Amino acid sequence: MVLKDKKTKITFHHGMRTIGGTYIEVTYENSRIIFDFGSQHDVLETSNNVSLESILERDLAPYIDNIFDKNIDLSAFKNKESFDKKGHMYDNTAVFVSHIHLDHTKMINFLDKSIPLYMSEKTKELLKNVNIDGEFLYPNSYIDAHTRDIIGVKENDIIEVGKIKVQVVPVDHDAYGASGFIIETPDLKISYTGDIRYHGYRKDDTLSFCEKSKNADVLIIEGVSVSFQEFDEVVAEGEIVNERMVIDSIKKVVFDNPSRQITFNYYTTNIERLLNIIDSNPRKVVLDAFHAFILFKSTGVKSYFYSLDGKDYGLEEKYKIDFNKLLKDKSEFFWQLNTEAINYLDKMDSNGIYIHSNAAPLGEYDPNYLPFKINIENKGIEFLTMACSGHAHPLDLIDIIDRIKPKLLVPIHSFRPEKLFNNYGDVLLPESKQTI
């Protein structure tokens, strides 16, 4: 195996045969880096206000020595064996986060404040704003901000952690600011895709990530799509398979229904899709104030907004649309239906259309999804889904592997990682906590 006789060690702590809570540690002598720092999603968890102990007990994230906030007593989790072997302090530890999705970020407030946390500048800015009310990430009562300190990294910049170098390289994914990492130690080159795809707005970034990763010793690749799809699966005629088609389908609904109320929801951090919805829409796109604030902070784009909760996000009044005007409208606006706004719709407004575009609740596996859908349909509104995956299609994953030609392929972040293959070397399916 490629890591034989190397000083670099890689430990796969968590998130190998599941989608969420990826934790991988790379060490070289007295330096170590860890990526990412999110948690697996527990559909039964109704509030973010839970203790770190409860998260670790449910194995939503792994216990790792000397990385969590020292104010929290985790002695119960210290596994004697791991403590004896690896419990020594590293001179340099740093944590890197590939993108904003909660399965990659949700735990960052529990990271000890002495440990630096790096992510792309775009992800940093977006995360700070999305968590402005402290409702996105897990809160930690020992820090006095909603979001702990983060160091933003410019696209393609290299951070040095002792003798480990990490390049933060942008990739295409349905999260603004998503990056992969190219990690070099004196004796090994490792490429980590984060979550990646070709079929969005930044395919060229994914291609250039592949180019930079070429001939990596180890390629750690996400395999979300092969969890559910086969390589030879035929795409049904008209099925939406890329971001372009999402935008075109939405546009068509708007053109075909000039006198129906049309509302929508998208996933908050998919800023690039939102920009394209706004650009391509013949109607005025109106967001709730919170989402208009996030869009403005991330891109400088000012959008129309409405406010039901009266919270002041510092938006310009001239972009404000009276909510009652939206309720009565049939042709001028294309507006975001937030959870509170749903309550104002009644059968009087029937014959409307609602477009669900990868918004929360995401899908039928979420117990909130069906009640949400039925509630909207019960108001006489047609419920349409126009969405596409943030993850590379199965054959695109193989294309990424073919471009990089790694000596060792490590597929993770998948229910069926064994589906991925490597024509250029070995494949490793690591067990949880395995070190190579």
CB of 395 to Zn ion, least distance (A): 20
CB of 269 to Zn ion, least distance (A): 9
Cis peptide before 248 (omega within 30 of 0): no
Give dist(CA 82, CA 54) in Å, integer. 21
CA 322 to chain centre: 33
101 vs 379, beta carbon nearer Zn ion? 101
Residue written as token pair 């340099």: 92
CA 21 to chain centre: 11
Please say whether the beta carbons of 330 and 260 come within 8 A: yes
CB of 175 to Zn ion, least distance (A): 5
Please say whether the beta carbons of 227 and 397 come within 8 A: no
Please say whether the beta carbons of 296 and 289 come within 8 A: no
195 vs 205, beta carbon nearer Zn ion? 195
Tokens of 83: 């403590």
101 vs 189, beta carbon nearer Zn ion? 101
Q: At residue 258, what is the residue type? A: P
Tokens of 298: 């991330």
Give dist(CA 252, CA 180) in Å, integer. 34
CB of 101 to Zn ion, least distance (A): 4
101 vs 122, beta carbon nearer Zn ion? 101
171 vs 355, beta carbon nearer Zn ion? 171
178 vs 295, beta carbon nearer Zn ion? 178
In sequence order, the β-bridge partners of residue 401 are none
Give dist(CA 96, CA 406) in Å, integer. 22
CB of 195 to Zn ion, least distance (A): 4
Binding positions for Zn ion, rule: CB under 5 A: 101, 103, 195
Please, what sign has the CA dihedral across residues 39, 91, 143, 51? positive
State how far the alpha carbon of 271 is from the alpha carbons of 152, 297, 391, in Å: 18, 11, 16
Helix, strand, coil percentages for the chain (3-state, nearest 5):
30, 20, 50
101 vs 419, beta carbon nearer Zn ion? 101
CB of 361 to Zn ion, least distance (A): 17
CB of 150 to Zn ion, least distance (A): 18
CB of 98 to Zn ion, least distance (A): 8
103 vs 329, beta carbon nearer Zn ion? 103
Give dist(CA 350, CA 329) in Å, integer. 12
On the 0-12 / 13-18 / 19+ scale of CB atoms within 10 A, 263 is buried
Start-to-end CA distance of the chain, whole Å, equals 9
CB of 194 to Zn ion, least distance (A): 7
CB of 221 to Zn ion, least distance (A): 12
Please say whether the beta carbons of 110 and 140 come within 8 A: yes
27 vs 225, beta carbon nearer Zn ion? 225
Please say whether the beta carbons of 162 and 92 come within 8 A: yes
> β-strand 218-222 against 408-412: which pairing, if any?
parallel
86 vs 101, beta carbon nearer Zn ion? 101
